[in-house]
């Protein structure tokens, strides 16, 4: 993902790179009698027939009988303030971060040569002070906060 780290008046263009790999074992379901693969099929409840991905939409359920259809285009155009940006909200001591509560890890790297110096200065300042930046960011259409800070 491309974006930027912002703090105050400084904006640094960055790339976000996954720091972890998935080494989980993934299983498939199969029919015990003939070893045929069992799959999940998407079926329309009203027509009782399988539908393709092109025939599937999203909606927001106000009540059981009242739903509002929502398109992917409308979701993409939602004004998330943190879209493509990692907004630094504050700086906290490193020891206040609960490492076990941090989910997936990502590395940030400057996306252009011109961004390398301000990015390096930010990283060095945090390292020298033994602090980490708490930031808001958007991923998968949701705003998130990172890192999670331990409460005393």
Q: What is the model's pTM?
A: 0.51
Domain 2-20+79-146 CATH assignment equals 3.40.50.1010: no
Rounded distance between C-alpha atoms, residue 38 and residue 36, angstroms: 6
Q: Which of 12, 45, 6, 19 is nearest to 117 (CA)?
A: 12
Q: Supply the DSSP string of 65-129, one letter for each residue.
A: S-EEEE-HHHHHTS--TTTTEEEEEEEEEGGGB-GGG--S-EEEEESSHHHHHHHHHHHHHHHHT
Ranges of each domain in the chain = 2-20+79-146, 43-76
Per residue of the chain (152 residues), give pLDDT as tens: 777 787 777 788 888 777 777 788 889 999 999 999 999 999 999 999 999 999 999 998 888 889 999 988 887 777 655 556 777 778 888 888 776 555 566 778 888 888 888 888 888 888 899 888 877 766 655 555 565 433 33
């Amino acid at each position: 993902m491309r974006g930027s780290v912002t703090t105050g008046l400084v904006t640094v263009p960055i790339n976000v790179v996954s720091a972890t790999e998935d080494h989980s074992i993934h299983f498939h379901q199969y029919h015990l009698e003939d070893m045929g693969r069992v799959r999940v099929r998407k079926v329309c409840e009203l027509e009782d027939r399988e539908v393709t991905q092109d025939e599937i939409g999203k909606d927001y359920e106000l009540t059981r009988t009242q739903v509002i259809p929502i398109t992917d285009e409308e979701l993409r155009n939602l004004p998330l303030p943190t879209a493509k940006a990692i907004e630094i909200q504050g700086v906290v001591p490193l020891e206040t971060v609960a490492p076990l509560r941090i989910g997936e890890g990502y590395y940030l790297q400057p996306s252009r040569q011109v961004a390398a110096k301000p990015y390096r200065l930010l990283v060095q300042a945090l390292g020298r002070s033994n602090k980490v930046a708490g930031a808001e960011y958007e991923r998968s259409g949701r705003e998130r906060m990172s890192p999670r800070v331990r409460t005393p």
